[in-house]
Amino acid sequence: MKQARVLNDAEIRRLLAVVSQTKHAGRNRLALMLSHFAGLRVGEIAALIVRDVIDSDGTVREQLRLRGEVTKGGQARVVFLNDKLRREIERHHAEWKPRPEAYSPLLITQRRTAFSANTLCQLMGQIYKLAGLDGATSHSGRRWFITRLAHSGVSPKVIMTLAGHRNLTTTQRYIDVRDDMMKAAVDLL
């Protein structure tokens, strides 16, 4: 089975530039950033509620806890939100009118309902296609997240835990290796 394409930095910038021109740009950008910067699966993103990322006082959480019923393996896990992603959530939160309830979906469709995993998957696919990124899918962000951590020297056990994998071999399948990465590794010698 062919794996989802892992974007390089220039392609990520292009993707975000294209998404900024779409209808519902803030929502779409947040969905993509949750995939890329938190490594969330599309079903996990679709299942997020406001309370998962926003405290009762309106501040963005530093971490969120995914409930077991929304994860692929059925195991709850903690997801840490970096500063870039937290700023994106703050920006999206500031655009909400009216303010949603704590148990409202974080991302909503044009019909003001929660996304299903399938619908969000289709939306992401359309955005990648619009950006001209053939081979990119709703799983590209998750692969980018895992690959970036691996090439930044993060411990495999930490990456496995962040990804919610039970097996290191599963995590290793996500890591993309390109010629420029191999050259940089050899140049370290």
In order along its 189 residues, the chain shows pLDDT tens digits of: 688 999 999 999 999 999 999 999 999 999 999 999 999 999 999 999 999 999 988 899 999 989 988 888 888 899 999 999 999 999 998 887 767 788 899 999 989 899 999 999 999 999 999 999 999 999 999 999 999 999 888 999 999 999 989 888 888 888 888 887 788 889 888
Predicted structure pTM score:
0.90
Helices (H), 20-116: 25-38, 42-47, 50-53, 83-95
CA distance 97 to 6: 34
The CATH homologous superfamily to which domain 9-138 belongs is: Intergrase catalytic core (1.10.443.10)
**pLDDT tens track for 130-184:** 999 999 999 999 999 999 999 888 999 999 999 989 888 888 888 888 887 788 8
Q: What is the amino acid identity at position 64?
A: L
Q: Which H or E run includes 63?
A: strand 63-66
Number of other CB atoms surrounding residue 67 within 10 Å: 16
CA distance 187 to 183: 6
Q: Are strands 77-80 and 63-66 parallel, antiparallel or unpaired?
A: antiparallel
CA distance 21 to 153: 35
Q: Which H or E run includes 80?
A: strand 77-80
Q: Which residues are within 8 A (CB) of 162 and not within 5 positions of it... i.e. 6 or more apart?
A: 39, 79, 80, 145, 149
Q: Could you tell me if 103 and 50 are in contact, meaning their C-beta atoms sit under 8 angstroms apart?
A: yes
CA distance 22 to 131: 11
